[in-house]
């Protein structure tokens, strides 16, 4: 656990007045407020840091403790004892009046440094930051393999100690976020529950490339097959299929197997297409016989 320089975080120096702290905090809050930086985890982390810095530096008692023992936080207990001798009033309650910012995210993550120095109950309190009625929205990331989202499957995910069983619709896309209504935090004073947002991180464990409901596969064919045509075996998601290669097939040419692609998201029994892209293999090591034959072909103008 490292020391956190709250002054540096708020970009102020140690002589900053309470008004300076407030001004600096508000300036940074306008920049990093989570509501102004959707899906930006770095901004959210920064916002939490500046919130924490503000929590400490805007509270005279916390600031005093931090200034005296900040770098030497392990000995902060000494300060605590000295303080107790001076006054019998318990706890750092002053922070409760300070104005803090919220944002609909889990703001219960002050640093270990803060917790160690001021204790878990020292903060102004996330629950009454801003007014809340609707429960907090939760964000979760779910990693699945491509082969797992080929069919709608039931998954059990564990969130905050609770198991949620849900059906992931076939064809969900990488990076896609779905909303599970009512599976967020509980509503406050009869308010509706928050929602759960799940973002899918889909790892491709197949040899195919995918875009939405279409699949792509590159198949190598010999020069003679490309020129004369022929039959090849192609692997699709549902097994091997025989495919006729047209005579005169070009390198990079593609054929479409209609309906052999990936399931369409939330469209039952509808599938995308499977594209085969031909890669014509140019022979590198020719035998004497082959060389002769190519010479013959050359004479014909090929």
Partner 1 sequence: MRKEDLIPAEEICVHYNIEHQFISALYESGIIEIVTVKETEYIHCDHLADFERMMRLHRELDINLEGLEAINHLLNQINKLQEDKRKLKNRLDIYE
C-beta of 33: minimal distance to partner 1 in Å?
Answer: 6
- Binding flag, residue 211, partner 1 (CB under 8 A): yes
Residues 86-125 that bind partner 1 (CB under 8 A): 101-104
Residues 121-160 that bind partner 1 (CB under 8 A): 130-134, 137
Helices 41-57 and 18-32: angle between axes, nearest 10 degrees: 170
- Choice from 52, 55, 107, 195 touching partner 1 (CB under 8 A): 195
Residues 297, 289 contacting (CB under 8 angstroms): no
- Choice from 1, 18, 30, 93 touching partner 1 (CB under 8 A): 30
Closer residue to partner 1 in complex, CB, 40/81? 40
C-beta of 119: minimal distance to partner 1 in Å?
Answer: 26
Stretch in the footprint of partner 1 (CB under 8 A) among 158-166, 209-217, 231-239, 243-251? 209-217
- Binding flag, residue 26, partner 1 (CB under 8 A): yes
Which residues contact partner 1 (rule: CB under 8 A)?
26, 29-30, 33, 35-36, 38-39, 101-104, 130-134, 137, 173-176, 188-189, 191-192, 195, 204, 209-212, 216
């Amino acid at each position: 656990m490292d020391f956190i320089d709250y002054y540096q975080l708020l970009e102020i120096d140690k002589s900053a007045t309470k008004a300076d702290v407030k001004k600096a905090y508000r300036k940074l809050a306008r920049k990093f407020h989570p509501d102004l930086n959707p899906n930006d985890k770095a901004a959210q982390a920064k916002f939490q840091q500046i919130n924490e810095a503000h929590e400490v530096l805007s509270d005279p008692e916390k600031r005093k403790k931090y200034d005296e023992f900040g770098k030497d936080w392990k000995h902060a207990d000494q300060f605590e004892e000295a303080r107790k001798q001076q006054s019998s009033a318990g706890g750092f309650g002053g922070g409760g009046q300070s104005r803090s910012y919220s944002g609909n995210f889990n703001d219960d993550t002050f640093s270990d440094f803060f917790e160690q120095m001021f204790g878990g109950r020292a903060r102004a309190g996330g629950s009454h930051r801003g007014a809340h009625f609707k429960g907090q929205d939760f964000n979760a990331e779910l990693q699945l393999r491509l082969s797992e989202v080929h069919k709608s499957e039931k998954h059990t995910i564990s969130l905050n100690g609770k198991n949620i069983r849900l059906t992931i619709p076939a064809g969900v896309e990488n990076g896609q976020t779905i909303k599970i209504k009512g599976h967020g935090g509980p509503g406050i004073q009869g308010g509706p529950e928050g929602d759960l947002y799940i973002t899918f991180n889909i790892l491709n464990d197949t040899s195919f490339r995918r875009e939405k409901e279409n699949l792509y596969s590159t198949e190598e064919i010999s020069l003679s097959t490309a020129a004369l045509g022929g039959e090849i075996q192609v692997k699709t998601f549902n097994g091997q299929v025989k495919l006729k290669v047209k005579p005169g097939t070009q390198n990079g040419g593609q054929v479409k197997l209609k309906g052999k692609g990936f399931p369409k998201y939330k469209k039952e029994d509808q599938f995308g297409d499977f594209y085969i892209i031909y890669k014509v293999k140019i022979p590198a090591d020719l035998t004497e016989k082959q060389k002769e034959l190519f010479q013959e072909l050359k004479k014909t103008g090929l």
